[in-house]
């Protein structure tokens, strides 16, 4: 189980369930896409970030832009169909290092 920031609720789910959800930035309403990968701290076993395709990618596969890593702290709410994140600027979101 994981605890969302600014929340008293905990969330438990399978990774496959998370990958089915669309990620939306609540600041500007922009759809960032579906989760393509996750980052986990191997020492603690905690999920530290989610990864979505960069703009210009088709189905998360074809395109030139790098993937976007959204830190776990930026996740506001995990709903049935969507994951809401809060990012004022893309400086909050870093490109995936390969």
Secondary structure of 41-52 in HEC code, one letter for each residue: ECCCCEEEEEEE
Instruction: Specify the pLDDT at position 1.
Output: 45
Judge contact between 54 and 66, C-beta under 8 A: yes
Average pLDDT over residues 73-96: 78
Name the pTM for this structure: 0.69
Q: Flag whether pLDDT at 92 surpasses 70.
A: no
Q: Which domains does the chain have, with CATH numbers?
A: 2-95 (2.30.30.240)
Which residue would you say has higher pLDDT here, 13 or 42?
42
E strands, 1-98, where?
2-3, 10-11, 22-25, 31-34, 37-41, 46-52, 68-71, 75-78, 82-85, 94-95
Q: What is the rounded radius of gyration, in angstroms, for the C-alpha atoms of the chain?
A: 13
Instruction: Specify the pLDDT at position 74.
Output: 92
pLDDT in tens, 73-82: 999 999 889 9
């Amino acid at each position: 189980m994981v605890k969302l920031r600014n929340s008293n609720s905990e969330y438990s789910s399978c990774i496959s369930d998370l990958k089915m959800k669309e990620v939306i930035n609540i600041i500007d309403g922009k759809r960032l896409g579906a989760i393509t990968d996750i980052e986990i701290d191997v020492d603690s076993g905690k999920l530290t970030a989610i990864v979505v395709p960069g703009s210009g990618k088709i189905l998360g596969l074809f395109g030139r832009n790098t993937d976007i890593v959204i830190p776990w702290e930026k996740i506001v709410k995990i709903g049935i169909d969507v994951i809401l994140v809060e990012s004022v600027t893309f400086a909050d979101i870093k490109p995936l290092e390969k």
